[in-house]
A and B are shown apart, each in its own frame.
Chain A
Amino acid sequence: MIVANRKPFEELLEFIKPYSKILLLGCNECVTVCATGGAKEVAILASELKMHREKEGRPIEIMEHVLERNCDPEYVESLKPMVGDYEMVMSMACGCGIQFVAEHYREKLVLPAVNTTFDGVTEEHGVWSERCLGCGNCILDKTLGICPVTRCAKSLFNGPCGGSQGGKCEVDKDTPCGWQLIVDRLKEMNMLDKYMEIQPLKDWSTSRDGGPRRRVREDLKI
């Protein structure tokens, strides 16, 4: 899922400063699962903002609305009848959703209420962590299901670096060293000899370095 964090409240207050009637969008997908921008979080943010503006003596009207998905035209287009009623749209969807809504409603300012952070998993209730950078050329077969591009702070293909200690990354003592995980896994699977293979240079052209990516399936086009 795509994981996001709500932006600091002060920043959001600045965004809404000039307005008195806004649409606050949420999304039923990833941001709901990571408890950032679903119906519940939209309601909480809306009431926080309204209370604050009330206290300032400048009340604001906030329409709460949650789309099934913000990354699909059929849902985004469903906003059409209502968007015109609001001075601005603030969105708690991920960066993809925010952009897609902005693309569809060019006459409106669409502002982000969250910082989109990573593609990850729910480690446990309330804890999410990154797993995939979407480099476009998966090598999880070589590293037995642990991605060095994502889970090593230096994206080393032939790690670990000299900063791995006690299973932790030098960058953060709460972050596991990706290469320690890979070595542990190789051992578990009795495949430590694979460690001796030198991983060749990566072709980054399939990643973001090759420019914004697009996928076309001609057979699915209508």
Chain B
Amino acid sequence: MQRAVEQRGIPTVSISVALDVTRHVKPPRAVFVPFMMGHHFGVPFHTELQRHIIREALNLVVEARESGEVRSLAVTWAQARRQGAANERAARGETGAEITGA
């Protein structure tokens, strides 16, 4: 699918949570995040992380020089979940909680 779009002259980037599949499919550009399936953009209500992943993907569109680059983001699932939970506590106004960025 990604290759079909790219071949129409439209640059593409995908978000991967499956390095094995990405290696088989060989998309033109991909950003890998070590997150569970169904959570490619992170965790609920962690808007900064969701934005970070999209920005990094778009950066790769601008910066990639060779087809097939897979860029891994320096994030972990545990960290994303901790930050997401902290953000939700802060949004509920619980004391001691503060908003955490990506």
State whether these chains interact. no
Give residues in A with beta carbon < 8 Å to B: none
Give residues in B with beta carbon < 8 Å to A: none
